[in-house]
Amino acid sequence: MKSTIAVIGAGRMGSALTRAILKAGFDTHVWNRSPEKCEPLAALGATVASSVEQAIAAAQVVIVNVSVYATANALLRPQDVTAALKGKLLVQLTSGAPNEARETASWATQHEIAYLDGAIMATPNFIGEPSGTIIYAGPRHLFEAHRDVFLALGGNAQHIGDDVGHASALDLSLLAQIWGALFGALQGIAVCRAEGIGLEVYAKFLDAFKPVVDGAVVDLIARAGAARYAGDEATLATIAVHYGAFHHLLEVCAERGLSRDVVDAFDAVFKRGIEAGHLQDDFAALVPCMR
């Protein structure tokens, strides 16, 4: 028999999660601070609770998706709400840091609440879709016991380990990638604008350059895993070659009066590697410089 689900939080993401759960045929209870956001969900069949405690009382699985952990804590930790959670599965899908997940797991254990921590690697339009990715961390048996719920939220539901901090840690590792790409593009746009290159040209060549970038990242991760930092016959480019090209970017920034905020961060890491004697090593020799 399908579990009854409570969803706490009906913002953009909480509403998408609720819609996906409803679509999969789960009896669903929803609560949101601003009750009007629950109205479209009620029209789809959700039961709107008048309090967090009431939503939880009806459910076996409680999904929380609010802005930050501090908000989730304020909602879940009043004594009567905590008591209502006893014996249930709490699934935290609010974005946070590994230490927040671990602290919540410890609190949950103290109160006999089963706990999984998740990170949503998708925007609301991917929720409930076969390609929707949500990663979960915490005791595997809890994930296995409620796999149907997790698959309803996204077809690519993955349990990544028992360490409850790992969902948010992996989330942050992947977000680092998107910020790297976005800040890189900010710099690229600035150079194109300063040099009078059309952004459509930039976009076209970025597309052509993407396999090169993707290949370099894959190579970097493989080398980091094997601690293979010395320049060798398979090295794509040494730090000397990268830093030589990078210097020309610094020159354009100086000549055109562009911000150095992004490139200064790159420069600092390059310099640390070079000072440590890695000029002729693979770019991967910068890996230990990040500690």
Q: Decide if residue 37 touches ligand NAP (CB under 6 A).
A: yes
Alpha-carbon dihedral sign for residues 64, 68, 48, 24: negative
Cβ proximity to ligand NAP, 65 vs 187, nearer residue: 65
Q: Decide if residue 98 touches ligand NAP (CB under 6 A).
A: no
Q: Decide if residue 110 touches ligand NAP (CB under 6 A).
A: no
Q: Is 193 exposed, middle or buried (0-12, 13-18, 19+ CB in 10 A)?
A: middle
Candidates 64-72, 178-186, 207-215, 247-255 — which segment interacts with ligand NAP by CB under 6 A?
64-72
| Secondary structure letter of residue 288 according to DSSP | G
State the pairing for strand pair 89-92/114-120: parallel
Q: Decide if residue 284 touches ligand NAP (CB under 6 A).
A: no
Among 20, 55, 56, 66, binds ligand NAP (CB under 6 A): 66
Cβ proximity to ligand NAP, 3 vs 133, nearer residue: 133
Cβ of residue 32: shortest distance to ligand NAP, in angstroms?
5
State the pairing for strand pair 61-64/47-48: unpaired
Task: Name the nearest CA neighbour of 139 among 121, 154, 160, 120.
Answer: 160
Among 82, 92, 94, 238, binds ligand NAP (CB under 6 A): 94
Task: Name the nearest CA neighbour of 148 among 89, 72, 65.
Answer: 89
Cβ proximity to ligand NAP, 12 vs 193, nearer residue: 12
Report whether 163 contacts 137 (CB < 8 A): yes
Helices (H), 164-238: 166-195, 199-226
Q: Decide if residue 67 touches ligand NAP (CB under 6 A).
A: yes
Residue nearest to ligand NAP (CB): 11
Q: Decide if residue 170 touches ligand NAP (CB under 6 A).
A: no
Cβ of residue 171: shortest distance to ligand NAP, in angstroms?
8
Q: Decide if residue 280 touches ligand NAP (CB under 6 A).
A: no
What residues contact residue 142 under an 8 Å CB cut-off, 6+ apart? 89, 114, 115, 116
Report whether 161 contacts 134 (CB < 8 A): no
Task: Name the nearest CA neighbour of 285 among 234, 225, 239, 232.
Answer: 239
Among 4, 47, 54, 71, binds ligand NAP (CB under 6 A): 71
Cβ proximity to ligand NAP, 70 vs 268, nearer residue: 70
Report whether 127 contacts 153 (CB < 8 A): yes
Q: Decide if residue 180 touches ligand NAP (CB under 6 A).
A: no
Cβ proximity to ligand NAP, 136 vs 243, nearer residue: 136
Candidates 97-105, 117-125, 138-146, 162-170 — which segment interacts with ligand NAP by CB under 6 A?
117-125
Element (H, E) at 73: helix 69-76
Q: Decide if residue 123 touches ligand NAP (CB under 6 A).
A: yes
Report whether 158 contacts 237 (CB < 8 A): no
Q: Decide if residue 104 touches ligand NAP (CB under 6 A).
A: no
Cβ of residue 117: shortest distance to ligand NAP, in angstroms?
12
Summarize as ranges the residues that interact with ligand NAP (CB under 6 A): 9-14, 32-34, 37, 65-67, 71, 75, 94-95, 120, 123-124
